[in-house]
Amino acid sequence: MAETTKRNNHNAVRALPRLFQILGVLARHKVLGALFGRRHWPTPTQVREAFEELGLVFLKFGQVLAMRHDLLPAAYIDELELLHDNLPPMSFDVVKPTVEQTLGNSLTALFASFDQTPLAAATIGQVHDATTQDGRRVAVKVQRSGLAPIISTDIAALHTLVTVGEKLLPRLRALDLHRVVSEFSSSLKREIDFNREARSIMLFRTALTDFHGLWIPDVITALSSDVVLTMDFSTGERIDKYAKRHPEAMPQLMDTLVRVMLQSIFEEGVFHADPHPGNVFVLPDGRLSMLDFGNTGEFDEPMRESLVLLLDAVVKGNARAATEAYLEMASSGEDINREGLLADMKAALYEIRQTNIARVSIGKALDSLLNAGSRNGVDNPAEFVLLTRAFVILESMIGRLDPQHDYMASFRGQIARLREQHFAAQRITDKSTQLARDVERLVIDAPGDTRRVLRRFAEGDLGRLPGLEALGARASRNIERLARVIAYAALVISGSLLLLRPMRDWHHLLGEAMVISGIVGIVVAGIGAVRRDHGR
């Protein structure tokens, strides 16, 4: 903790010149007036213009704030949504040496052609149209130089501004702005790591290789580095421009996009965290093309299972189930106010139930859950926050491109399918097999482990205790019996889940067999225990 504090103080001191510059811009645009009360608040336009003048980090931060309806009034949200991160392009005199130095060869040796005029220029970098020596058309993404120190300095300045703001306006502490800044910092660091983006692209290509109607570019690793990323060129058109010419195609494309997001999240454990129109294209053959994987998230299997249960509970309005699933995902401790969390969950889900189901926002619902958790001592996992942001962006795009699209119908259909998979026979069988293996290992290891522990205990300062080894042997036998009973009980539970399926098919036959086998095993184990006790 002391080391972290020292590092934060050092960063704050190093950021002082930039901090004074930021304060000057904020003062000129009257943003600092907010510190003197609501009557002095700047206009939404003044806030947007200040962020635009402050550059890269503040442009990105403004875009993040534009999605936090819990932090800002609607007028400010609407204005910040106008922020764009198009910056003047880098000179080719800067691009050329960057590519050559990082890839270790001349540009003419690396590429057969390389367009000096970029296709697009943004805060992180710019993209050039090029052709490889074997005739493959590619897009080359070149990072702007010196981003890491700029980001580090501006993030330190932001933390300092938040600290000062909280001291002057204590009510700001309830917004947990330091967490917002920290999450934003992590997101930016992910975006400037082109090696990570390359791995993400390859991971998505592998995970969604059989997904019909989707194309993801491949990475040319020999022409990529930490600041240069070369991938297949997408010949598609931005989906928002495509929507103006082909509105009739939007329902199908939006449904495909929802399926892509949910399948990647729940079946593969990865998700695109920035699915806005600039990153989603439509190819000439009608397939979706997803680009820019600089901001992605990952969930392990336990987190995915909890998320399925959470979303299912949200859709059904079950506050208690939502609370339990949410706490399985988040870091829990003694400081969590569980009763307060449940009450806040009920309030959030009540608002959802009062809304037309077709207009329910999953992103806003998850954001409400995050806020409820923060108010009651829950440390929200960063990936959950990132996922919430992704849903907000996705829903915003769907609302603009296809206002009549029944997003919740697609969502409920996918959640139902995922719930079906969650209780699928093969999955239950796999889980039961794994449980049986774990129990078998426990049965094999427990007697020896118990004897070793007891032997060390007996050889310690307490000396040898009569009957201690016998006690260990009895404990080992009891563990063996308990392990068998647990295994039989697992069969009964797994079989019962299969019997709950609405349609009677082979799942029922397997379920009946598992239940009967489990019950017989428990009875036999019980009879054996009674006989041994009677014998003693």
Report the alpha-carbon distance of residue 445 to residue 8 in Å, rounded.
48
pLDDT for position 64: 73
pLDDT for position 336: 81
Local confidence pLDDT in tens for the 536 residues of the chain: 444 444 455 555 667 788 888 888 888 888 776 665 556 778 889 888 888 888 888 888 887 777 666 567 778 888 887 776 666 789 999 999 999 999 999 999 999 999 999 998 888 889 999 999 999 999 999 999 888 888 888 888 888 888 887 787 777 776 667 777 887 888 788 888 899 999 999 989 988 888 889 999 999 999 999 999 999 999 899 999 999 999 999 988 988 888 888 888 877 788 888 888 888 999 999 999 999 888 888 888 788 888 878 877 877 778 888 888 888 887 655 678 888 888 888 888 877 666 655 566 777 778 888 878 877 878 777 788 888 888 888 888 888 888 877 777 767 776 666 666 655 545 545 555 555 555 555 555 555 555 555 555 555 544 444 454 555 555 555 566 666 666 667 666 666 666 665 555 666 667 667 767 767 666 666 666 555 555 55
pLDDT for position 3: 46
Q: Return the closest-CA partner of residue 360 out of 402, 308, 316, 297.
A: 316
Both structure tokens of 115: 């367009």
pLDDT for position 530: 53
Question: Any idea where the domains of the chain sit in the sequence?
Answer: 2-84+148-191, 86-145+193-233, 236-420, 425-535
| 215-222, Cβ contacts within 8 angstroms, sequence gap of 24 or more | 215/283, 215/287, 215/288, 215/289, 216/289, 216/290, 217/139, 217/289, 217/291, 220/132, 220/136, 220/138
Per DSSP, the three-state class of 73 is coil
At the topology level of CATH, where does 86-145+193-233 sit?
Answer: Phosphorylase Kinase; domain 1 (3.30.200)
Give alpha helix (H) positions in 267-357. Answer: 301-316, 319-329, 338-353
pLDDT for position 463: 47
Q: What is the pTM of this model?
A: 0.67
pLDDT for position 37: 58
